């Protein structure tokens, strides 16, 4: 007796939301991924320089360009945004 009463009550609980739904679509949205944004900064590691070197028995003035180190910093993590879309 208890089992049938419990089964009947459970069936009414699951059927109630389906019977009560009579809503209309107001707006539809699609989910879009926005990638992370970064900022970069660079600082001078080694300055430019000229240097005299022996190459094949002669003196040659060599130029070495500056060396920069670049660092990236996370500004904003990637996330999802909702964009309005046509309803099907």
Predicted pLDDT of residue 42 = 96
pLDDT of 5-58, one tens digit each?
667 667 666 665 555 667 888 899 999 999 999 999 999 999 999 999 999 999
Instruction: Band the pLDDT of 2: cuts 50, 70, 90.
Output: low
Could you give the CA distance from residue 69 to residue 73 in angstroms, rounded to a whole number?
13
**pLDDT confidence of residue 18:** 56
Q: What is the 3-state secondary structure (H, E, C) of 30-81?
A: EEEEECCEEEEEEEEEECCEEEEEEECCEEEEEEECCEEEEEEEEEECCEEE
| Contact of 68 with 47, CB cutoff 8 Å | no
- Of residues 6 and 75, more confidence is placed in 75
pLDDT at 22: 77
CB 38 within 8 A of CB 75: yes
């Amino acid at each position: 007796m208890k089992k049938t009463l419990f089964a009947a009550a459970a069936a009414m609980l699951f059927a109630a939301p389906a019977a009560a739904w009579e809503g209309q679509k107001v707006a539809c949205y699609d989910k879009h991924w926005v990638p992370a944004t970064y900022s970069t900064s660079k600082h001078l590691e080694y300055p430019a320089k000229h240097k005299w070197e022996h190459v094949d028995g002669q003196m040659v003035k060599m130029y070495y360009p500056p060396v920069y180190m670049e660092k990236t910093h996370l500004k904003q993590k990637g996330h999802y945004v909702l964009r309005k879309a046509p309803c099907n």
